[in-house]
Structure 1
Amino acid sequence: MSRRLPLLVSALALVAGGTAVALAPDAHAAGAALSATLVRTSSWNSGYGADYVITNTGDATATGWAVEFDLPAGTTVTSSWSSVRTSTGNHHRFSNVSWNGTVAPGATVSFGFNVAALGVPLGCTINGAPCAGGTAPTTAPTPPATTPPATPPATGPIVDVSTADQLSAALAAARPGQTIRLAPGTYSGAFLGRAIGTAAAPITLTGPATAILTNPGSSGTNPGCSVPAAGFDPGYGFWLYGAAHWKLNGFTVTGAAKGIMIDASPHVTIDGVFVHDIGDEGVHFRRSSADGVIRDSRIERTGTAQPQYGEGIYLGSANSNWSCYGNTGGIDASDRIQVLNNRVGPDVAAEHVDVKEGTVGGVIRGNTWNGQGIAGQNSADSWLDVKGSNYLIESNTGTFSAPGVFANGYETHNPTVGSGCGNTWRDNRSDLGGVGKWAINVTSTAKCAGNLNVVHASNTVTGATSGLTNIAVTP
Structure 2
Amino acid sequence: MKTGTRTMWVSGAALVISLVALIVSIASGGGGDTPRAAGATPRATHSASPSAPQEPTDAPTDPVTGALESPSSPPPSSTQATGSAKASADAVTCPTPTIMVGDANSLDEALGNAMPGDVIGLADGTYKDKFTAETAGTADRPIWVCGGPGAVIDAGDVEGGYAFHLDGASYWRLVGFTVRNGQKGVMADRVEHSVIQGLTVEHIGDEAIHLRNFSTDNVVRDNTVRDTGLRKPKFGEGVYVGTAESNWCTVSKCKPDHSDRNTVVGNHISATTAESIDIKEGTTGGVVTRNTFDGSDLSGDHNDSWVDVKGNGWTISFNTGSHAREDGFQTHEILKGWGRDNTFKGNVAHVDGPGYGFNLTPVNGNKVACDNKATGAGKGLTNTDCAA
- TM-score normalised over the length of structure 2: 0.75
Whether the 8 Å CA contact 1:216–1:235 is kept in 2: the answer is no
Structure 2 equivalent of residue 205 of structure 1: 145
Deviation for aligned residue 1:218 = 8.2
Q: 1:394 — aligned with what?
A: 317
Structure with higher strand content: 1
Unaligned runs of 5+ in 1: 1-131, 135-152, 220-233
Partner of 1:159: 99
CA contact (8 A) 1:154 1:174 kept: no
Partner SS, residue 256 of structure 1: coil
- SS for the counterpart of 2:387 is coil
Return the alpha-carbon distance in structure 1 between the equivalents of residues 42 and 335 of structure 2.
Answer: 46
Q: 1:362 aligns with which of 276, 283, 286?
A: 286
- Match for 1:175: what amino acid? M
Indicate if the aligned counterparts of 2:351 and 2:357 stay in contact, CA closer than 8 A: yes
Are 2:272 and 1:348 aligned?
yes
Q: Is 1:471 aligned with 2:384? A: yes
8 A Cα contact 2:158 2:204, kept in partner: no
SS at structure 2 position matched to 1:379 = coil
CA contact (8 A) 2:158 2:231 kept: no
| Other-structure match for 2:20 | none
Give 1:444's aligned residue.
362
What does residue 431 of structure 1 align with? 350
User: Do the aligned residues in 2 keep the contact of 1:154 with 1:173 (CA within 8 Å)?
Assistant: no
- Given residue 268 of structure 1, which amino acid in structure 2 is its aligned partner? S
Higher relative contact order (CA 8 A, sep 6+): 2
Q: Deviation of residue 235 (structure 1)?
A: 2.0
For residues 287 and 154 of structure 1, what CA distance do their matches in structure 2 show?
33
Match of 1:418 among 312, 337, 344: 337
| Inter-CA distance 165–372: structure 2 relative to 1 (3 Å threshold) | same
Mapping 1:274-293, distance limit 5 Å? 274-293=200-219
% identical equivalent positions: 39
| In structure 1, C-alpha distance between the alignment counterparts of 2:348 and 2:261, rounded to whole Å | 23
**CA distance in structure 1 between the partners assigned to 2:161 and 2:243 by the alignment:** 19
Distance 1:239 1:378, change over 3 A: farther
Matches within 5 A, 1:190-269: 190-217=130-157, 234-269=160-195
What's the counterpart of residue 104 of structure 1?
none
Number of the residue aligned with 1:294: 220
The match for 1:459 is 372
Does structure 2 conserve the Cα–Cα contact (< 8 Å) formed by 1:409 and 1:436?
no
Contact 2:39 2:110 in 1 (8 A): no
- Give 1:410 shift: 0.6
Q: Cα deviation per residue 1:3-53 (whole Å; 9 max; x = unaligned)?
A: xxxxxxxxxxxxxxxxxxxxxxxxxxxxxxxxxxxxxxxxxxxxxxxxxxx
- How far apart, CA to CA, are the structure 2 residues paired with 1:242 and 1:283? 16
| One-letter amino acid of the structure 2 residue matched with residue 350 of structure 1 | A
SS of alignment partner, residue 308 of structure 1: helix
Code of the aligned partner of 2:351: L
Q: Summarize the Cα distance change of 1:271–1:218 in structure 2 as closer, same or farther, 3 Å threshold.
A: closer
Residue deviations 1:116-157, cap 9 Å, x none?
A: xxxxxxxxxxxxxxxx769xxxxxxxxxxxxxxxxxx64756
CA distance change for structure 1 residues 458 and 286 in 2, over 3 Å: closer, same or farther?
A: same
Unpaired segments ≥5 residues, structure 2: 1-37, 47-96
How far off its partner does 1:436 sit? 3.6
Instruction: Specify the structure having the higher radius of gyration (Cα).
Output: 1
- Pair 360,133 (structure 1): closer, same or farther in 2 beyond 3 Å: closer
Separation in structure 1 between the aligned mates of residue 179 and residue 301 of structure 2, nearest angstrom: 25
Partner of 1:324, secondary structure, is: helix
Equivalent runs, 1:115-130 vs 2, <5 Å: none
CA displacement at 1:191 relative to structure 2: 0.5
Cα deviation 1:182-238 (Å, max 9, x = unaligned):
00000010200001101110000110011000112489xxxxxxxxxxxxxx52110
Q: Check whether the contact 1:208–1:251 (CA below 8 A) recurs between aligned residues.
A: yes
Q: Aligned AA for 2:345? A: R
How far off is 1:472 after superposition? 1.2
Which has more helix, going by share of residues? 2
Aligned amino acid, residue 443 of structure 1: T
Aligned equivalents of 1:443 and 1:260: distance in 2?
Answer: 30
Equivalent residues of 1:352, 1:383 under 8 A apart: yes
User: Aligned pair 1:408/2:327, yes or no?
Assistant: yes
Alpha-carbon distance in 2 for matches of 1:427, 1:276: 28
Aligned to 1:311: 237
Matched-pair contact (CA < 8 Å) for 1:382–1:409: yes
Q: For 1:311 and 1:218, how far apart are their aligned partners in 2? A: 14
- The alignment partner of 1:201 has SS state of coil
Residues 238 and 465 of structure 1: CA distance in aligned 2, closer, same or farther (over 3 Å): same
**Partner SS for 1:463:** strand
Distance in structure 2 (CA, Å) of the matches to 1:170 and 1:312:
28
Q: Which residue of 2 aligns with 1:69?
A: none
Secondary structure of the residue that 1:385 maps to in structure 2? strand
Q: Residue type matched to 1:344 in 2?
A: I
- The equivalent residue for 1:225 is none
Judged with a 3 Å threshold, the aligned counterparts in structure 2 of structure 1 residues 199 and 133 are, in CA distance, closer, same or farther, namely closer
Equivalent residues of 1:158, 1:179 under 8 A apart: yes
Shift of 1:416: 1.3
What do residues 435-457 of structure 1 show as CA deviations (whole Å, max 9, x unaligned)? 24101000113xx3xxx001110
Number of residue pairs matched?
299
Following superposition, the deviation at residue 325 of structure 1 comes to 1.7
Aligned AA for 1:330?
K
Taking the aligned partners of 1:308 and 1:133, their CA distance within structure 2 comes to 42
Closer, same or farther in 2 for the Cα pair 1:208/1:133, shift >3 Å?
Answer: closer
